[in-house]
Structure 1
Amino acid sequence: MKKWFAVIGDPIAHSKSPNMHNTWFDEMNIDAAYIPIHVKSEDLENAVASLKMLGASGWNVTIPHKQTIIPYLDELDPLAKKMGAVNTVLCLPDGSLKGYNTDGAGFVHSLEEVIGNDKKTLEVLLIGAGGAARGIAFALQQYGYHNLTVTNRTVEKAKEIVSELGEGRALSITETEHSLDKFGIVIQCTSAGLGNSEFRLPLSLEKLQEGAIAADIVYNPLMTPFLLEAQMKNAKIVNGLGMFVHQGAIAFRYWLEQYPNTNNMIKRLTDELNRS
């Protein structure tokens, strides 16, 4: 029986996941399909039940469902449980649903492809305190980045992440703007700028240090307003495409126990996004 997979979110039309996974299926001669499904927050419980009933083998979860999907799953991978966020669901043979988080590991892989793995002592700033920020924070800690600061418009949410990490600090946006020149790595972890949407910078980059590493988790457009502004400050840029491809490849391995070609996919999607 042909396997099928999906990605659920709101919005979802911008997603390159179907293109990516269907290309990998073709490259690896796997009889499977992957589709996008637009799911609003109020429809999430019914959507999960429907995916299970209709025989999906698994699916990806994107904004805004990474945390709110958890009550509808039967089991969580220990890291996903610790993070409190899920971006990958596997339908187990007994019909139960298991949640994983591949965002954080995918981000660290993409970051270190660009900057190497010898920058672990730098001060790291995460902007945002949602599911993606939480996943990235725990993954950075796991990979040896311990000088972490989280900033968010609602600083209490940043404090929650820091408390769960057991290290680091939380700052308000204003405090962060005043001390931005202290950070060697600045990571934009919100959906701001997604799909060329109306955008304002989450904080002023006036004090961004020259040569700092500026990363964004948004991959469409490749150069978000945040990255463009950081580039004007002579920062080293890490776009969100590498994270997207690596998190997808890790999910692919959970579903099918095979690892796809990530290098070719990054090149392919970079060309496609540049053309558009």
Structure 2
Amino acid sequence: MTVSLPPLSGKAKVAGLIGWPVSHSRSPRLHGYWLAEHGIDGAYVPLPVQPARVEVAVRGLAAAGLRGVNVTIPHKQTVLGLCDEVDDIARRIGAVNLLTFDGEKISGTNTDSFGFMENLKAGAPGYDATRAPAVLLGAGGGARAVAVGLLDAGVPELRLCNRNRERAEGLAADLGNAVTVCAWEERCAALDGAGLLVNSTSLGMSGQPALEMSLGDLEAGAVVADLVYSPLETALLAEARAKGCTAVDGLGMLLHQGRPCFAAWFGTDPQVTPQLRAYVLSGD
């Protein structure tokens, strides 16, 4: 599948992605598809920025007239201190993945919670967060975004399991009484009565150790979501489908988190379609 971008004019809107590295990112392919689909005079470019050069790079990109940038590892926390404005959700997550520039004014937000919840809505349309506890594996940046999204959706209890308990307790302290920390060794037992399991760790990702997780205590009909999307069908999702659970892969979170970014820079609210998924995956 090929996508042809229209030629750029001197008025082209330009956005990009900063991180170190960025060569693995699917975001240029994602935004390139939408630019072509909507015939927008614009471009989205990957911009490798070394950690020691983040401030000069961000301020230079703003001064150069870019509309903004996505921010990925390892810069998501660093750029918080560079923003003139940061919204509440970015402060609660403790990280920024979207910068918009108005002249040299820098504004920051985080669209990862939106991306996760929209992907959950699309992949498990019958899921109601208020009905049952949720279990979340991990306590990193992805886990923070997932936790904020689920708490805002009204989950009555969020059971947090992480290999480093101290880090899990720190996240729980930040997010309030609805978060309960469970020992990593008790992660399977934590599934009792849960309506949702989310893996936000790198376990099960290509090149990483396997996620050792039995779903025996999870009721059939529950939802299992994995933020990993390489491979797209993880062992966790395969077991969930075999058990009769609804399985939600991690690619959709990436696609949906890009929607408000694209809208902020290019003025068009794009949609996530099967054709988009196929195009982004075809870049492997």
TM-score (norm: length of structure 1):
0.86
Q: Does 1:110 align with 2:135?
A: no
Residue number in structure 2 paired with 1:173: 184
Q: 1:46 to 1:220 in 2, by over 3 A?
A: farther
Per-residue deviation at 1:88?
0.8
- Between the aligned residues of both structures, percent identity stands at 36
Q: Does 1:261 align with 2:271?
A: yes
Residue number in structure 2 paired with 1:204: 213
- Give, in whole Å, the separation in 2 of the partners of 1:163 and 1:117: 30
Paired amino acid for 2:188? E
Gaps of 5+ in 1: none
Aligned residue runs from structure 1 range 174-253, under 5 A = 174-194=185-205, 196-201=206-211, 203-205=212-214, 207-211=216-220, 212-253=222-263
Out of 38, 45, 48, the residue aligned to residue 48 of structure 2 is 38
Paired amino acid for 1:172? A
8 Å CA contact 1:221–1:273 kept in 2: the answer is no
8 Å CA contact 1:220–1:273 kept in 2: the answer is no
- Give, in whole Å, the separation in 1 of the partners of 2:21 and 2:239: 25
Q: Does 1:72 align with 2:110?
A: no
Q: Does 1:270 align with 2:281?
A: no
Gaps of 5+ in 2: 1-10
Map Cα deviations across residues 68-101 of structure 1 (whole Å, 9 max, x no partner). 32122222012211221211111123x1111111
Map Cα deviations across residues 30-86 of structure 1 (whole Å, 9 max, x no partner). 111011223344443343244334432111122333223212222201221122121
Cα RMSD over matched residues? 2.5
Q: Answer with 251-260 or 240-249: which moved more.
A: 251-260
Paired amino acid for 2:106? L
Per-residue deviation at 1:233?
4.6
Q: Does 1:51 align with 2:36?
A: no
Q: 1:29 to 1:116 in 2, by over 3 A?
A: same
- Give, in whole Å, the separation in 1 of the partners of 2:265 and 2:76: 18
Map Cα deviations across residues 90-135 of structure 1 (whole Å, 9 max, x no partner). 1123x11111111101111110222225422122111111222112
Q: Between Structure 1 and Structure 2, how many residues are aligned?
A: 271
Per-residue deviation at 1:232?
4.9
8 Å CA contact 1:199–1:225 kept in 2: the answer is no
Paired amino acid for 2:268? Q
Q: 1:40 to 1:2 in 2, by over 3 A?
A: same
Q: 1:270 to 1:229 in 2, by over 3 A?
A: farther
Residue number in structure 1 paired with 2:3: none
8 Å CA contact 1:140–1:146 kept in 2: the answer is no
8 Å CA contact 1:105–1:247 kept in 2: the answer is yes
Residue number in structure 2 paired with 1:19: 29
Per-residue deviation at 1:234?
4.5
Per-residue deviation at 1:157?
2.1
Q: Answer with 40-49 or 10-19: which moved more.
A: 40-49
Which secondary structure does the structure 2 equivalent of 1:258 belong to? Answer: coil
TM-score (norm: length of structure 2):
0.84
Which secondary structure does the structure 2 equivalent of 1:200 belong to? Answer: coil
Q: 1:133 to 1:28 in 2, by over 3 A?
A: same
Q: 1:216 to 1:44 in 2, by over 3 A?
A: farther
8 Å CA contact 1:85–1:134 kept in 2: the answer is no
8 Å CA contact 1:188–1:215 kept in 2: the answer is yes
Q: Which has the larger radius of gyration?
A: 2
Which secondary structure does the structure 1 equivalent of 2:187 belong to? Answer: helix
